[in-house]
Amino acid sequence: MLGNFGYCNPTRLYFGDNSLKYLNRELKKYGPNILLTYGGGSIKKNGIYDEILQALEMNDKNVIELPGVMSNPTVHKLYEGCALAKEHDIDLILAVGGGSVCDYAKALSVSARCEEDPWDRYYIRQERPNNEIIPVGCILTMVGTGSEMNGGSVITHPEQKLKIGHVFGDDVMPKFSILNPTYTLTVPRYQMVAGFFDIMSHILEQYLSGEDDNTTDYIAEGLMKSLIHSTRIAAKNPEDYEARSNIMWTATWALNTLLSRGKTTDWEVHMIGQAVGAVTDATHGMTLAAVSLPYYRFILKDGLAKFRRFAVNVWDVDPTGKSDEAVAKAGLKALEGWMKEIGVVMHLRELGVEESMYDAIADGTFLLKGGYRQLSREDVIEILKQSM
């Protein structure tokens, strides 16, 4: 049975190769003080920065820049942003970059006017915001996280070896997001394919859970088939606009809360992957790739019916004359083949993980109840061993 649920997504999207023109429309809605935040400066090399700055100047905005947002945004970078936002009485945070920059902007939006330590309140205690939230707008330059249309944010505390996400909800979702597929064409290949797997992982976390035959699962299957098709094209020709635009659109729908409606969800792959990232600072999508197959093989018998369906409906595995377990394993084998085809990391050792790190990673892994099997700490360590 499809469960009871509510659904709201207030983010306005502008999609396409001329979508930046709509930035003027959105800027008119906000006050003069704009915090422009971005990553390592690639937007200056490819010309995106100049286009955005021109739009901001045309709208008479006071621009305060906050560059240097890292791929795993840290709590220290969050504190830096809070100080800037307070000093300049920011009216809008404009995030230009990939999911990490968007995540960072949302964390900053709830933290800048928080009277407590935001790390402790929002990430350790997982409390809701009760202070003023600064609006966020996103201009996406890399796809994968879906952060452009959700209220989630992941922040890392390097000293505590913790990487924690908080789903803040509707009020923290970006007010608008601009999705121009051409902006993603210059992303380095490693980051591109990491994003591809991040998208797949988001769908799998919501699909490989629950027993119900519901509309949500059919949507997930369609998104996965589209992603597989387009990523195969993009892996061979990264400048294929049609493939990259379809991937961009799939990424948004993979994690804008739609696929979680009316069913349980898992997210244990993300919990382990984020713990790996907290210890190694490895690229998020690659940490997910390294632990996914060992995790799914570990829980396969607990969710056998859905794993069988995944094999048949997504990978076109022929079930004739095969046991349910054999079909399910064939589906994971097909997933493995696609991962190797697009070129993601397959083992944690490729990310610098050593046996001596197992305890720290296990200690940083949150054990959730939404999947087919709730893991123990010992289970996490066994999955890490199998991921090496």
Kindly list the domain boundaries of the chain, sorted by start residue: 12-183, 189-387
Give me Rg for the CA atoms of the chain: 20
- pLDDT tier at 175 (50, 70, 90 boundaries)? very high
Distance CA(355)–CA(359), nearest Å, equals 9
Give residue for tokens 């049975």: 1
For residue 333, the Cα-to-chain-centroid distance in whole angstroms is 24
- The reported pTM is 0.96
Question: Does 46 score more than 80 pLDDT?
Answer: yes
Mean pLDDT across the chain, nearest whole number? 96
Mean pLDDT of the 167-196 span: 95
pLDDT at residue 3 in the model = 79
Question: Which tokens go with 236?
Answer: 């061979």
pLDDT at residue 125 in the model = 96
- The CATH code belonging to domain 189-387 is 1.20.1090.10
Mean pLDDT of the 187-208 span: 97
Give the closest residue to 385 by CA, choosing from 349, 342, 352, 340. Answer: 349
Question: Does 200 score more than 90 pLDDT?
Answer: yes
Amino acid at 159: E
H-run or E-run covering 95: strand 92-97
DSSP secondary structure letter of residue 120: I
Amino acid at 358: Y
- pLDDT tier at 371 (50, 70, 90 boundaries)? very high
pLDDT at residue 139 in the model = 97
Question: Which tokens go with 139?
Answer: 């201009």
Residue 189, classed as helix, strand or coil, is: helix
- pLDDT tier at 41 (50, 70, 90 boundaries)? confident
Alpha helices (H) along the chain: 23-27, 42-45, 48-58, 75-88, 99-111, 118, 189-207, 215-236, 241-254, 268-280, 284-299, 304-315, 324-342, 358-363, 377-387
Angstrom CA distances, 354 to 159, 272, 357, 384, stand at 19, 15, 6, 10
Q: Which long-range contacts (CB under 8 A, 24 or more apart) does 294-298 make?
A: 294/383, 294/386, 294/387, 295/268, 295/269, 295/383, 296/204, 296/208, 296/332, 296/335, 297/329, 297/332, 297/386, 298/373, 298/379, 298/382, 298/383, 298/386
C-alpha torsion sign, points 139, 179, 203, 257? positive
- pLDDT tier at 1 (50, 70, 90 boundaries)? low
- The CATH code belonging to domain 12-183 is 3.40.50.1970
Residues in the chain: 388
Question: Does 2 score more than 80 pLDDT?
Answer: no
* Beta carbons of 368 and 374 less than 8 angstroms apart: yes
Question: Which tokens go with 249?
Answer: 């659109």
Question: Does 212 score more than 90 pLDDT?
Answer: no
Question: Does 359 score more than 80 pLDDT?
Answer: yes
Higher per-residue confidence, 4 vs 271: 271
The angle formed by the CA atoms of residues 338, 341 and 346, to the nearest 5 degrees, is 80
Question: Does 211 score more than 90 pLDDT?
Answer: no
- pLDDT tier at 102 (50, 70, 90 boundaries)? very high
